[in-house]
Structures are given as C-alpha cells and as structure tokens.
Structure 1
Amino acid sequence: MGSMPSADLFKPLQENDPAVVGGYRLVAVLGTGGMGKVYLSYTPGGRPIALKVIRPEFSEDPEFRRRFKQEVRAAERVQGLYTAPVIDSDTDGAQPWLATAYVPGPSLAHAVAEHGGLPLRSVLLLTVGVAEALHVIHRAGIVHRDLKPANVLLASDGPRVIDFGIARAADSTALTGTGVSVGTPAFMSPEQASTGTVTPATDVFALGQIAAFAAIGSPAYGDGPSHAVLYRIVHEDPDLSRLPAELLPLVSRCLSRDPAGRPSLTEIIDLCHELSPVALRQGEDWLPQAVAGSITERLHLPEPAKTPPPQPAVTPTPTEFSPQNPAPGVANPYAPTGSAVSSAPTQNAPRVPGPVPPPGSPAYPPQGQYVSAPGYPGHPVHSAPGPHTPPPVTHAPYAPASRQKPKRTGLIVAASVVGVVVVLGVIGSLLSNGTEKDKTKDDAAASQGANSGGSNGSGGAGTQKKTDPKPVSYPGIDLTEGYQIMLADNPPRPVEGEDLAYGNGDLYFSVVRFLDEAAIGTANGKFVLLNNTQKGSLATCRTETRYTEKIALTQLGDGSQFCVLSDAGHVAVATYRGKSGDREAGSYVTVDLQIWRNAEEAKTD
C-alpha cells in the first residue's frame, strides 16, 4: 500500500469536534464508543497517542467523575508489555479525557471480521499475551469488566489490552440504566450478567470467550438480541463444536459458570504452553500475513496539523496600553478561543487553557504546565524565548503613548468618596425604616419554605432548601472477607478488592489472622458507631461526630447500628446481623443497609 493514510482508519475532524484538548492538537478521529470519542494526536516529541474524550452525559455525573479519577490513577500504575500505557489525563475538566499510547494495529474484532478466525499458534500467543496483561491489571487492583475483542489490539509484537478499569466508573452512573450500555453482553460472565458481581474471575471468563472468538470467528454463545445472549450465558453451555480440539481444555475451563472453577492466569499461561505443538515465542510472525498487513496500514498516520485552528477575528478595544497577555484574535493569532480548548492536567491540578503552538510545530502544552511523556514524569515547560514562544506583547494601535492627557486622580478619588458617603446615608435611612417590615416578610417566607420542604423558592430571598433523598433499604447483604461495597451501586454488591484500607470501598470486611482481628472498615469516608439508645437515621448520622474508620467485630452485637458517611456524599445506616460460623467455608458478615444517596455534598480532593 502507498504512504497515504487510509480515510477509513483516520476520519477527519467534524465541526463539533474540538481542535485542541488539554494542549494536544487533534488530528483525526479513531473511533466512537459508548463512553466517548477517540482521537489521534501527538506528544510534543512527535509520538502518536490515542486521546479519549468522555461523553458529556457521563461528565455531568459526580459519582462517575469520582470513580473515573480513581480508575485513571490506578491505570497509571499499569505498565505491562501487553497493555497500552496511560500517557496523560484530565479528570477534573469540563469534559474528562484520557490519553494512551497509540497502538498501530487492528482490534481483534476488526481482524476477525475482515479475515476470519486465527490459526492455533496465533490464538495461543494471543491468549498468553492477554493473560499477562490481565495479571498486571489485576495486580494494580483493577478488574477490566469489559474485556472484549474490540478492546484487544493486535500489534506487530503481540496483543495490547486497552480501556481497563474505565467501565467500573460508568457502572456508577444512572445512565447505564437509561440506554447507555457499558459492557458487551456476548462477553459477560454469568455472575456479571445475573447479579452484577465482578471479580478477577470475571475477566478470566471473558478471556475464554476471546480465545474461542479468535479461533472460530464468532462468539461462543452466539449472536442475537442482548437478552437472548445473556440468557444463554447464564443458563446454557457454549457452542464449542467448531473449536480446535487443542483449545477445548483451555476454553471449557475458562467458561465455567462457577467462578471458583476457572483457572488462574498463571495456569492459563502454563496450559497454553502445554497445548502448543511448538514453543511459544512472540515475534513479528505471530499473526497471519493478511492481518499483519492491517498493522502496516495503520503505521501511515496523518501528519500533525501545521496551521493553528481557525480563530474568529476580534477588533482590539482602544486602551492606553495593550494587556499583559494579548487577547485571542488578531493581536495574538495563536491563542485558542471558545470550545477549542479543554482544560489539561498538571501533576496535582487541572490545566488552564493556554496558547496553541505556532505553525509547523507539534502540539506543545501551554507555558508553565506539565505534560507526561511516555515513560517520563511531567516537567514544567519554561517560558524562555525560543522558536515556539508566542508573539511578543505590542502596544495597541489606537492609543499612542506620546499624547497622554494628565490624569486628575486626586479629584476623582475625592468626588468618589463624597458620593459613596451620601449614598450610604440614604441607604441606611431606608433600611432603618423598613427593618421590622422586612423581618416579618422574611420570617413568613422562611416558614413557607420549611412547610413546603424547600421545593420552591417563593416568598423569601430565592434560596431553595435541598430536599433530602428518599432512603433505599437493602437487607441481608453478606460481605465476604476481603470484599468491599460501594454505596452508589444499586443494589450494593460486594466486590473483591486489594489493599482494602487504602482502596476506595465505602464499606469493607477484613480479617488479620496473625492479630486475630476482624473488623469492618471504610477507605472512602468515616463511621459513627451508635449506642443502644440511638435510632439510626439520616438526622442522627448528620449530627454525630464520634468518627472512626474501623469498627472491630468485638464492638458489635446483633442489631448494632453504625453510620457510614461516604466522601462521595452518600449516607447509610448499617445494622450488623452477625458473622459466619467457624465451620462455614468462607468468612463473612451480614449487614442491613439503609442508604440516602447524594444526601451531602461530595468531597473533592
């Protein structure tokens, strides 16, 4: 193929696409998904990146933002050979975004759609690579949740897993129940499809699905409406009749409906080596020639834009001197305006809009900001003069400095002071005459607002009293040792976590064996243990200040209550119902939860 990039792979920007995001100039559209749009851009050093801008619908959800920030931080710790590393991000701007290394290769979904199933050696190398990627992802405390062929890219030296952890943030928003789909039904696990339970074993099930899809060229549970596919996943066995015999032991174990029956990632890697007739080594020949041609095609990237985005003409306002920083427009053609700029992150805070680089240069970040390049920590871009320094400040053309009129500053200040004194005297007289009347009206308005529950602002100063959310009850939740609960989940389901005390769980149960210590704790808020005379309620939880982050089981009896005050703004009353018996296989506690979601303002970092 020629050196020109394919129009099918790199679609041009449309009118509604921003020209610059976080200091990165966008070059082309790579794709659109359920959570956002992915663009091609370049680092200042010219390395291509894939920049995903989250959809506005998700951006407006505070719980999504909180979780997205946590997942991005965790994803930044994932540095594996078979993952696309996170390069930069902004989780606090008007529209959050995430930038990863660009992988020049088709997705598994695209490759199978174009060329059919892969040969045995390619499938085994694919499975080994994805298993290694999952091992690194899980070690960072992340469960992918949406592992599917579209999220596995085929590079020249092996697969790359992308979009790990982002689906968890989307699970927190109400949009997932109103037409916005997160997760692909054909590749969900039975427990994920039926109860929403997600553990590392969920990703193992999806890996088995991916291996089968790569080998036979279609999903193991067939196609069709989502509800029909999910029913088959939960209640029926997969159709593996076309699967090569060598892969049957591996795939059938991964697709066990019982999560405990699935192999570990280490077992999967060992099994792949045992099943392969030749030694498995990743190399340039790991894919069929036809699929490898798709990689070559994706290496012919569009060049970075050489001209700044179009700017509206702005007529300078006559001033005595031009401002310290020229306004966007004619005086400073390289300063971005309007929606062409999204805020970009620094190491500790979001970036502020800055100038777009001049023609012929890559998309340098604004001066004084930080940009993380691949493998390097961010460093400030200093404002020393150079070829990329914005144009110097010049005097405005309408105010020659040589003919300035003398300023009568003293007279102006004196006149202003006299005027202010007179006005204040008149206002004071009026206020003293109307104090009692206004007080009566304000009291009546406050009384009316209280009686109406704050649903309208009539009769007062226009302030509205926030209506308390209605509580939702969840009785009999079994919280297993090592698992955590998020109050935002509906219903709240225990999810396995790592480093519970330093994680993000609103409520977790842990046991330290060598200390013989069992406790319920929180890593995302605080507890208040109520005494026997107190009734658990939203009002009680708001007024009590005897805070703690961990309650030993020895402090609890059947019926004991404690408040859970989440940093996300959710409030819950937990009623302890006891612990599992010593003879039972697992260790868990049972609690009833009554949750008031978004009862308080969320805390920000």
Structure 2
Amino acid sequence: MGSTPSANLFKPLQEGDPVVVGGYRLVAVLGVGGMGKVYLSYTPGGRPLALKVIRPEFSEDPEFRRRFKQEVHAAQRVQGLYTAPVIDSDTDGAQPWLATAYVPGPSLAHAVAQHGGLPVRSVLLLTVGVAEALHVIHGAGIVHRDLKPANVLLAADGPRVIDFGIARAADATALTGTGVSVGTPAFMAPEQASAGTVTPATDVFALGQIAAFAAIGSPAYGDGSSHAVLYRIVHEDPDLSQLPAELVPLVTRCLTRDPAGRPSLAEIIELCHALSPIALRQGEDWLPQAVAGSITERLRLPEPARTPPPQPAVAPTPTEFSPPGAPYAPSGPPMSSAPTQSAPGVPRPVPPPGHPMPPRQGHPTPAPGYPTHSSPAPGYHTPPPVIHAPHPPSARQKRKRTGLIVAASVVGVVVVLGVVGSLLSDGDGKDKKIGANSPSSARSSGSSGGGTSGGGRHRADPKPVSYKGVDLTEGYKIMLADSPPRPAESEDAAYDDGDLYFGVVRFLDEASIGTANGKLILLNNTQKGSLETCRTETRYAEKVNLDQLSNGSEFCVLSDAGHVAVATYRGRSGENDPGSYVTIDLQIWRNAEEAKGN
C-alpha cells in the first residue's frame, strides 16, 4: 500500500472556511472531526500549527463553553515529550478554538488502514510512548477519556497523544445524547460504556485496546454497531487470537474489566521493557519504512501566505472568526491568563514585513503583545479629528428622550420589586403557603435562583433541607422541587422526566441511579458532599451504577431547574423484598443556580 499523496493531506480552503482565526492566517484544511475542523497555520516565526475550530453546535452550549475553558487551561499545563502542546486558544469568542503544535505524522488509525498492523517492536515503543504521555496528562489532573487510534499520531521520534481532555467538555452536553459518555465505542472501557464512569484506569484500558489494534490491525472487540461492540466490551472477553504471543500478557492485563485490576502506567512501561529482547529506545527507525514514508509526505507543507488578505477601503469591526474574503482582523478577546507555550508578551501573528497592519474599528481589546492604547499601527497616519458644531435637540428628539426616561423608570421599579420579592422567597429552603407543594411552582422559581440575581448582585446561598430514608422504587422518579420529594412513577421506560430515577436494564444486568434533567457527580471517599463541592466538581455523568456505590457513598445531583442536592446511598432492597428499590438520603439546596435556558 502506498502512502497518501501530500495533495490529499492539505486540502485547500473551501467556501465557508475562515481565512483568519484569532489572528492566524489559515493555509489548508487538515481534517474534520466530531467536534470541529482542523486547519494548518503558522506562528509569526514560521512554525506550523494545527488550529481546531469548534463546531457551532457545541459553541452554542453554555455548559460546553464552561468546561471547554477549564479543559484548555488544564491542557496548557501538559508539557510532555509525547504530547502535542497547546500553543494558543480562545475559549470566549463566537466560535472557540485552540492551536497545538503541528505533528508531521499519520494517525495510528490511518497508518494501520494503509499498511496493516505494526511489528512487535513498534507496538512496544508505541505503548511506552503513549503510557508516558498519559502519565503527564494524568499528572495535570486530566483523564483523556477518548484515547483511540485517531488521537495517536506517529511522528519520526515517537508517538504523540492529542485531544487530551477536550472530549470531557463535550461529555453530557445536549448534543451527546443520554446514557453514554463521549468516546469511541470500540475503545471505551466497560465502566465508561455502562455507567459513564471515567478514571485514569479508563485510559489504561484504552491503551490496551490501542496496543492490540496496532498489532492486529483491527479492534480487539470486533466491529459492528455501537450497541453490539459496547455489549461485548461489558460482558465478553476480547478476541486476542491474532495477537503476537509476547504481547498477550501486556494487553490482557490492560483489558481487565475491573479498573482496580489494571496495571499502573509505570508497570506498563516496565512490562514493555521486559518483553523486548533488545533495549527500547525511540529513534528514526521505530516505524516500518512504509509508515515512515507517510511522515515524509506530511513534511511537504504548503507555504505560508506571503501577502495579507485583501483590505477594503473601510475596514469592518474586527472579529475573531473571519469568513473568506473578509479583511485581516486579529483576535478580539485576549487569551486567558493561563500559561501557554508562548512567553508573555509574544504578539499574535502579524502580516509579513512590508505590509502594514490595517486599522481597527471600535477599539477592541488588543491581542497579547499589542499596546493597550489606541495608537495607530505603523505605516498609518492618524487623520485630524473632525469636529462638528453641536446642534440643539429638536422638539421631537426631546419627546423621545422623555419617553425613554419614563420607560427606564418603569423598568427600574419592576426590577426593584423583583429583587425584593426574591429576597422574601424561600430563604430557608422550605416552601411557603402559596404553591407550597407544587413542583411546577418550585421549579419555575429556579430562574431566580443561583448565586446571582438578574442584576448581577450576589445573594446568599439557600439553606439546605434534609430528607432521610427516601425509598426510590425501580421505574420511579424524584423531583428535587417537591417538598418532600416523593417518588412518582415515570411516564415512560426512558425515565426522561425525572431529576433522579432508579432503573434496571435486565439484558445488561445493570442497575443504576440516573438523571434525565441534569448531571450527576460521583464523589470520592475523601470528599465531603456540600454545595461548594457540587459546584466545583466537573466529573459529570448521567447515571451511576449501583456496583460503584456502597453504604454512605455520596453523589451530587445538579438539576437543570437550578436545584442542587447531595444524595447519600443507603442500600438496595433485598432479594426477599416484594419490590425493587434503593434507599437514599437527600440534602437539597433549592434554586441554588440559574435554571438552564433562562
């Protein structure tokens, strides 16, 4: 199989592709993924970059934006030899983006599709490199959660792991559906596939999958529909009959169903060295010659543009995302203060020498490295100010202005009354006489809950209300707005109308507590459930398997209506009980957050 010609690697920009993103002039399209499109660009010094622009569908999700910002900041701390470092980003713009170092090498998925499985030595060097990358990624507090062959690039001096942590931002958003975490089914771990639970051990399982895929040339759990593959991962053993014998101990340990039984990354590296008859050392010969040829193709990069984009007579207001034919416009919002690969004060890309920087309109915040005052760019001369003689307002203008003042006064009175009303509302967490036991009234008040009011003023957190020994029957739901929260029968088998439900999937032999109106966070044994803990933790899931719980286990419930609860698991009904139910204690902070969609 021959290597892909470079003409197919760097596709030209098409209609609808931007010309400039965040001040970076785009040169070609590198690829399209589930979360966005990746472009080739260059730093001012000529170093190539891979710049990913997030899809608009994700950009419009506030929860995605919040978590994407957190994950990008965490990813900027990852400085490993086997990762592609994050160089720059904009998490607040109209369409978020991030730029990483360009890696001239095919993905493992592409290499295997083109050339088949790799020799044992290459697989061992691949495994130790990815294990070292995961060690650095986990050290930054990140779990990759979508480690797959497409996210492992094969460079001349070893593998590179990309897109670490970014999948977490998309997990459990409105676009990902319910019940299954973000990830590629063929490379998910059993706990991730069944309950959405993700830990560093989840990445170890994926690493075992990658090693098997690299050696065999196909997934260890076979192909087919997502549901079929996930069922095999949860309930069946992998097919390792085609795996070279020396790799079987390594892969088998990594693919242990119980996360606690999987080896640590240090053990994996040590085992790889023990399995190799010669010392493992990364070098130019770590890949077969045919795969190495793909690297050569990717080194033939398109040249950076030598001229700036066309400039009209009047430059429009700059944006961080310019469509084809639009004028050059450096990024509007500055980068976050989190450390990046670039040193402080390094400016964003500018046009090549000899081409002046076009003027800005509207005085946007300059990019890092640019002066914060409004002095013109070199090569431009500030025209003298145009002074117009003042004109007295006409009678019509006066009438309009008077009407606006009256309208503003009315709005102000309404706002004040709203604030007073909210301060007189359920401050102690108990429902008042009007609509006291009405779930709909309590849920509707969620729009005024949360840490801030509509005017941006901070208000005191609501006091929690506790409920002990709530029995939640299988197929029933609980709404946190109810006082007390009484289990009610769910309207359908999908449990799509409850803040908390207990469900059992018989054919998977899986029992879980889940939510259809928010998020769950399973707390560690060392964490104490509180409102602050629930607000700061972001290890979201939409259900928690009972296998993960023991008496006293706590998990947060974050309702879309703005209610927050800490649930404490107290056990499940016994075999001799006439019904199937779980018992939980609830501590609820009603209207602690802004309701989603308001």
Seen in structure 2, the aligned counterparts of structure 1 residues 520 and 510 have a Cα distance that, compared at 3 Å, is farther
Q: SS of 1:99's equivalent?
A: strand
Equivalent position of 1:146 in the other structure: 146
CA distance in 2, matches of 1:426, 1:120: 80
Is structure 2 residue 500 aligned with structure 1 residue 473? yes
Equivalent position of 1:82 in the other structure: 82
Q: SS of 1:510's equivalent?
A: coil
Seen in structure 2, the aligned counterparts of structure 1 residues 309 and 252 have a Cα distance that, compared at 3 Å, is same
Which whole-Å deviations, capped at 9, do the CAs of 1:193-225 have from their partners, x for residues lacking one? Answer: 111111111111100010011111111111111
Equivalent position of 2:234 in the other structure: 234
CA distance in 2, matches of 1:180, 1:51: 28
1:230 to partner: Cα distance? 1.0
CA distance in 1, matches of 2:283, 2:589: 53
Give the AA of the match of 1:12.
Answer: P
CA distance in 2, matches of 1:144, 1:210: 14
Q: Which protein has the larger Cα radius of gyration, Structure 1 or Structure 2?
A: 1
1:78 to partner: Cα distance? 0.8
Residues 29 and 39, structure 1, Cα contact 8 Å, conserved in 2:
yes
Equivalent position of 2:485 in the other structure: none
Q: SS of 2:500's equivalent?
A: strand
Instruction: Choose the corresponding residue for 2:370, options 357, 381, 394.
Output: 381
CA distance in 2, matches of 1:127, 1:424: 71
Give the AA of the match of 1:571.
Answer: H
Seen in structure 2, the aligned counterparts of structure 1 residues 179 and 475 have a Cα distance that, compared at 3 Å, is closer
1:284 to partner: Cα distance? 1.0
Equivalent position of 2:335 in the other structure: 346
CA distance in 1, matches of 2:373, 2:67: 38
Give the AA of the match of 2:526.
Answer: S
Instruction: Choose the corresponding residue for 1:416, options 393, 402, 408.
Output: 393
Give the AA of the match of 1:492.
Answer: L
Equivalent position of 1:67 in the other structure: 67
Give the AA of the match of 2:381.
Answer: V
- Identity over aligned residues, as a percent? 66
CA distance in 2, matches of 1:427, 1:222: 68
Residues 311 and 327, structure 2, Cα contact 8 Å, conserved in 1:
no
Residues 185 and 193, structure 1, Cα contact 8 Å, conserved in 2:
yes
Q: SS of 1:84's equivalent?
A: coil
Give the AA of the match of 1:285.
Answer: D
Which whole-Å deviations, capped at 9, do the CAs of 1:367-401 have from their partners, x for residues lacking one? Answer: 98455xxxxxxxx2359999x945413659xx9x9
Residues 336 and 355, structure 1, Cα contact 8 Å, conserved in 2:
no
Equivalent position of 1:280 in the other structure: 280
Equivalent position of 2:270 in the other structure: 270
* Structure 2 residue runs without a partner (length 5+): 319-323, 339-346, 422-433, 445-453, 455-479, 482-496, 504-512, 538-550, 573-582
Matches within 5 A, 1:18-37: 18-37=18-37
Seen in structure 2, the aligned counterparts of structure 1 residues 346 and 247 have a Cα distance that, compared at 3 Å, is same
Seen in structure 2, the aligned counterparts of structure 1 residues 308 and 180 have a Cα distance that, compared at 3 Å, is farther
Seen in structure 2, the aligned counterparts of structure 1 residues 381 and 215 have a Cα distance that, compared at 3 Å, is same
Is structure 2 residue 520 aligned with structure 1 residue 492? yes
Which whole-Å deviations, capped at 9, do the CAs of 1:24-81 have from their partners, x for residues lacking one? Answer: 1111111101011111111111111111111111111111111111111111111111
CA distance in 2, matches of 1:174, 1:422: 47
Give the AA of the match of 2:191.
Answer: E
Equivalent position of 1:393 in the other structure: 381
Give the AA of the match of 2:594.
Answer: E
1:416 to partner: Cα distance? 3.4
Equivalent position of 2:563 in the other structure: 571
Q: SS of 2:210's equivalent?
A: helix
Q: SS of 2:526's equivalent?
A: strand
Q: SS of 1:202's equivalent?
A: helix
Seen in structure 2, the aligned counterparts of structure 1 residues 340 and 394 have a Cα distance that, compared at 3 Å, is closer
Which whole-Å deviations, capped at 9, do the CAs of 1:336-368 have from their partners, x for residues lacking one? Answer: 95897764532449xxxx998445689999998
Seen in structure 2, the aligned counterparts of structure 1 residues 363 and 424 have a Cα distance that, compared at 3 Å, is closer
Equivalent position of 1:115 in the other structure: 115
Seen in structure 2, the aligned counterparts of structure 1 residues 392 and 220 have a Cα distance that, compared at 3 Å, is same
CA distance in 1, matches of 2:47, 2:302: 12
Equivalent position of 1:199 in the other structure: 199
Seen in structure 2, the aligned counterparts of structure 1 residues 137 and 569 have a Cα distance that, compared at 3 Å, is farther
Seen in structure 2, the aligned counterparts of structure 1 residues 382 and 171 have a Cα distance that, compared at 3 Å, is same
Q: SS of 1:7's equivalent?
A: helix
CA distance in 2, matches of 1:265, 1:526: 28
* Structure 1 residue runs without a partner (length 5+): 315-325, 330-334, 372-379, 456-463, 477-484, 495-506, 512-517, 528-557, 581-588
1:231 to partner: Cα distance? 1.2
Which whole-Å deviations, capped at 9, do the CAs of 1:246-275 have from their partners, x for residues lacking one? Answer: 001000111111111111111100000100
Equivalent position of 2:126 in the other structure: 126
Equivalent position of 1:208 in the other structure: 208
Give the AA of the match of 2:393.
Answer: S
Matches within 5 A, 1:23-62: 23-62=23-62
Residues 488 and 570, structure 1, Cα contact 8 Å, conserved in 2:
no
Seen in structure 2, the aligned counterparts of structure 1 residues 7 and 286 have a Cα distance that, compared at 3 Å, is same
CA distance in 1, matches of 2:101, 2:348: 24
Q: Could you state the TM-score of these two structures normalised by the residue count of structure 1?
A: 0.66
Q: SS of 2:393's equivalent?
A: helix
Q: SS of 1:11's equivalent?
A: coil
Equivalent position of 2:177 in the other structure: 177
Give the AA of the match of 2:335.
Answer: T
Seen in structure 2, the aligned counterparts of structure 1 residues 13 and 598 have a Cα distance that, compared at 3 Å, is farther
Residues 21 and 344, structure 1, Cα contact 8 Å, conserved in 2:
no
Give the AA of the match of 1:381.
Answer: Y
CA distance in 1, matches of 2:208, 2:218: 13
CA distance in 2, matches of 1:562, 1:122: 43
Give the AA of the match of 1:573.
Answer: A
Equivalent position of 2:594 in the other structure: 600
Equivalent position of 2:187 in the other structure: 187
Equivalent position of 1:246 in the other structure: 246
Equivalent position of 1:510 in the other structure: 526
Residues 508 and 520, structure 1, Cα contact 8 Å, conserved in 2:
no
Q: CA RMSD in A?
A: 4.9
CA distance in 2, matches of 1:110, 1:24: 27
Q: SS of 1:522's equivalent?
A: helix
Seen in structure 2, the aligned counterparts of structure 1 residues 563 and 291 have a Cα distance that, compared at 3 Å, is closer
